[in-house]
A and B are shown apart, each in its own frame.
Chain A
């Protein structure tokens, strides 16, 4: 019999019951909750008179709606200017209190984007099943965990039963061999993967990211890659556990301690695909071939290396509409696309390494006068603290970028941070859909280094030109 993939192992380890009809009950170790997709789930519980199955498996924090300016944050929930956002954040607060679920509220330094907070706290551990009412839950797969987004009805289902009704997905291996060049980051790797397999390429699959490039990548880089597995259509992305994983988890607040730690580490050593495991599909890329990437269209698969030119409307279906929406003409160099706003943040790229990467580029330089606004939004209160301890906030502010309070911010523009119609944004987030960052807004997805370089140049530019030179 062939060996098992990492996904097979995680599935088998959590299988409560296989039903005859092909569906299965899967046990869920951790559920993360936020204000947007949980209110109707709590309401459902109440209406049915049900109680959460295991309260201490849940962790909540508000992120999507929270304001990111110091002023609006000062007075807590009451200070949120948008009355509808306020109700939502307040509802989370009330539900967590009523059901006794731990919440890092808006005033807690541990508050932040759920996908930054979970790993940072050790609430996400190798070998776990992790769910959240948010598609970017795939992020947590970086820990050798089975993690994916669910809908609100499923949030309620997990609260009530600690299980999910699921069907096993197929296995895909995305291997990136070799090494990455200087100035090429995890974000470029995942964008290049999506460019290759398309936004539906991973539909129905759990993707394991393997190969030298991922072995050499930091945990934060792996999180960036797994985060965007969903942008390739795969609900779950994952990376095998190795020493990098274990070093990252060690000492985090909710990580096991002492004797339990040793036992856990031993168990985690099995969290990789067996050498003879069979994947339903294998995709291979070469690290050396990957250049810094920029999306030009309205789907993450509409992506090109920064030295390319904008494609023709007749190249593929949907290109004409995308080019029109983005206000681009065929044949123009990507580096001629002007940048009106810059957003460095989101669950894809708001961790400390991302901020360091961006700061290194803007240090001693100035944001171009043609850029109306450049925001840096750390992923959590703790990331913010760390960045400030390293003086990154000062580097950003001296260069003319704004340093904000943690949250999702302009990633989906549910708070006041958004694009105006027709504005181009160099964004480190994960979706460039029409209107995602504001009505009529034009999003270009890039790495933090590329966003920082675009802020300085006022248009897209190959960040590698900035490297090795002092600003």
Chain B
């Protein structure tokens, strides 16, 4: 997994609550058996005026001029500012894959849906929860100032605004540790293989029916 330490990047504001994973990456693109290549279809239904099909060349499709990611001033953004309950709905990991493929490494919102939040960490994307009031303020500042960049420091758990103001956030110790080091979760868990085996034995002993094989 890619490590995340410090990121300085342009922020794009997506002013909409309850953005679900169907919206982040519509289902027709879930047919891929790969992890990459979802970027051109990120927010497909909002971003283009026509209906997207998998495998199509997106460079010739009609763009929705009103959609924020299509605006000149947000090209190259790597931080997404969003509203509450971001990433609700389906568990598809294609959502963080698409955000990542597009170039986002960090999403800031007042709240996230659980599964999406979890999936972000598995893909080197940092989801940051800030209060509703702070997020509101950020929306206003971004609107007012073209080229608005934020610095995100995971080690320090701080977001630093262009004027130097620091906003603190907090991330679970284990997740922070994995993300900072780019650790492979599976490798870490397998370090506990003996504990897993011991548990499995006891579990099998007390509830043998749980081990009736699927056959």
What is A's interface to B at a CB cutoff of 8 Å?
A: 14, 16-17, 19-23, 25, 27, 29, 36-37, 39-40, 43, 48, 50, 53-54, 56-59, 64-65, 82, 84-85, 87-88, 91, 102, 123, 125, 127-128, 133-135, 148-154, 156-157, 160-163, 165, 167, 199-200, 203-204, 233, 235, 254-256, 260-261, 263-264, 267, 299, 317-318, 412-414, 431, 433-436, 439
B185 CB contact (under 8 Å) in A157, A233, A264:
A157
Beyond A16-B195, A21-B172, A254-B212, 19 additional contacts (C-beta under 8 Å) are A27-B196, A27-B199, A36-B30, A37-B91, A43-B34, A54-B200, A65-B31, A84-B55, A135-B90, A135-B115, A152-B35, A161-B193, A163-B189, A200-B84, A200-B111, A267-B206, A267-B207, A412-B90, A434-B23
* Residue among A150, A162, A435 with max Cβ neighbours from chain B (10 Å): A435
Nearest first, the 4 A-B pairs at minimum CB distance are A21-B173, A56-B213, A256-B209, A153-B122
Looking at the assembled complex, report how far the CB atom of B178 sits from the nearest CB atom of chain A, in whole angstroms: 9
The answer to whether A154 and B122 touch across the interface, beta carbons within 8 angstroms, is yes
For chain B, residues 183 to 199, give those with C-beta under 8 angstroms from any C-beta of chain A: 184-186, 189-190, 192-193, 195-196, 199
* Residue among B45, B55, B91 with max Cβ neighbours from chain A (10 Å): B91
Name the A residues within 8 Å of B30 (CB-CB). 36, 64, 414
Looking at the assembled complex, report how far the CB atom of A262 sits from the nearest CB atom of chain B, in whole angstroms: 11
Q: Given the known inter-chain contacts A199-B85, A254-B214, please indicate yes or no for A23 contacting B172, CB distance below 8 A.
A: yes
Q: Given the known inter-chain contacts A19-B174, A199-B85, A433-B22, please indicate yes or no for A161 contacting B186, CB distance below 8 A.
A: yes
A29–B89 Cα distance when bound, in Å, is 25
The answer to whether B190 and A21 touch across the interface, beta carbons within 8 angstroms, is no
Name the B residues within 8 Å of A153 (CB-CB). 93, 119, 122-123, 185
Q: Given the known inter-chain contacts A21-B172, A151-B91, A153-B185, please indicate yes or no for A87 contacting B33, CB distance below 8 A.
A: yes
What is B's interface to A at a CB cutoff of 8 Å?
A: 17-18, 20, 22-23, 26-28, 30-35, 45, 51, 54-55, 84-85, 88-93, 96, 111, 113-115, 118-119, 122-123, 172-175, 177, 184-186, 189-190, 192-193, 195-196, 199-200, 203, 206-215
Looking at the assembled complex, report how far the CB atom of B186 sits from the nearest CB atom of chain A, in whole angstroms: 5
A161 CB contact (under 8 Å) in B172, B196, B211:
B196
Name the A residues within 8 Å of B91 (CB-CB). 37, 133-135, 149-151
The answer to whether B85 and A233 touch across the interface, beta carbons within 8 angstroms, is yes
A203 CB contact (under 8 Å) in B54, B85, B184:
B85
Name the A residues within 8 Å of B89 (CB-CB). 135, 431, 433
B209 CB contact (under 8 Å) in A40, A150, A260:
A260
Looking at the assembled complex, report how far the CB atom of A216 sits from the nearest CB atom of chain B, in whole angstroms: 28
A154–B120 Cα distance when bound, in Å, is 12
The answer to whether A16 and B199 touch across the interface, beta carbons within 8 angstroms, is yes
The answer to whether B122 and A151 touch across the interface, beta carbons within 8 angstroms, is yes
* Residue among A123, A200, A254, A413 with max Cβ neighbours from chain B (10 Å): A200
- A202's nearest neighbour on chain B, judged by CB, is B114
The answer to whether B31 and A151 touch across the interface, beta carbons within 8 angstroms, is no
The answer to whether B212 and A256 touch across the interface, beta carbons within 8 angstroms, is yes
A52–B195 Cα distance when bound, in Å, is 17
B115 CB contact (under 8 Å) in A19, A150, A412:
A150
The answer to whether A318 and B215 touch across the interface, beta carbons within 8 angstroms, is no
Q: Given the known inter-chain contacts A125-B209, A254-B212, please indicate yes or no for A203 contacting B114, CB distance below 8 A.
A: yes
- A156's nearest neighbour on chain B, judged by CB, is B186
Name the B residues within 8 Å of A149 (CB-CB). 91, 115
Name the B residues within 8 Å of A434 (CB-CB). 22-23, 45
Q: Given the known inter-chain contacts A150-B115, A153-B123, please indicate yes or no for A58 contacting B214, CB distance below 8 A.
A: yes
Name the A residues within 8 Å of B196 (CB-CB). 16, 25, 27, 53, 161-163
Looking at the assembled complex, report how far the CB atom of B118 sits from the nearest CB atom of chain A, in whole angstroms: 7
Name the B residues within 8 Å of A135 (CB-CB). 89-91, 115
The answer to whether A29 and B28 touch across the interface, beta carbons within 8 angstroms, is no
The answer to whether A264 and B207 touch across the interface, beta carbons within 8 angstroms, is yes
Name the A residues within 8 Å of B177 (CB-CB). 21
The answer to whether A435 and B22 touch across the interface, beta carbons within 8 angstroms, is yes
The answer to whether B186 and A264 touch across the interface, beta carbons within 8 angstroms, is no
The answer to whether A59 and B28 touch across the interface, beta carbons within 8 angstroms, is no
Looking at the assembled complex, report how far the CB atom of B14 sits from the nearest CB atom of chain A, in whole angstroms: 13
- B90's nearest neighbour on chain A, judged by CB, is A135
A87–B30 Cα distance when bound, in Å, is 12
Name the A residues within 8 Å of B193 (CB-CB). 161
- B35's nearest neighbour on chain A, judged by CB, is A40
A317 CB contact (under 8 Å) in B17, B88, B93, B173:
B17
A182–B84 Cα distance when bound, in Å, is 38
A360–B34 Cα distance when bound, in Å, is 45
Name the B residues within 8 Å of A59 (CB-CB). 214
* Residue among A134, A151, A154 with max Cβ neighbours from chain B (10 Å): A151
* Residue among A37, A135, A256 with max Cβ neighbours from chain B (10 Å): A135
The answer to whether A203 and B33 touch across the interface, beta carbons within 8 angstroms, is no
* Residue among B34, B88, B113, B206 with max Cβ neighbours from chain A (10 Å): B88
Name the B residues within 8 Å of A85 (CB-CB). 31
Name the A residues within 8 Å of B213 (CB-CB). 56
Name the A residues within 8 Å of B20 (CB-CB). 431, 433
A448–B176 Cα distance when bound, in Å, is 45
A200 CB contact (under 8 Å) in B85, B173, B190, B209:
B85
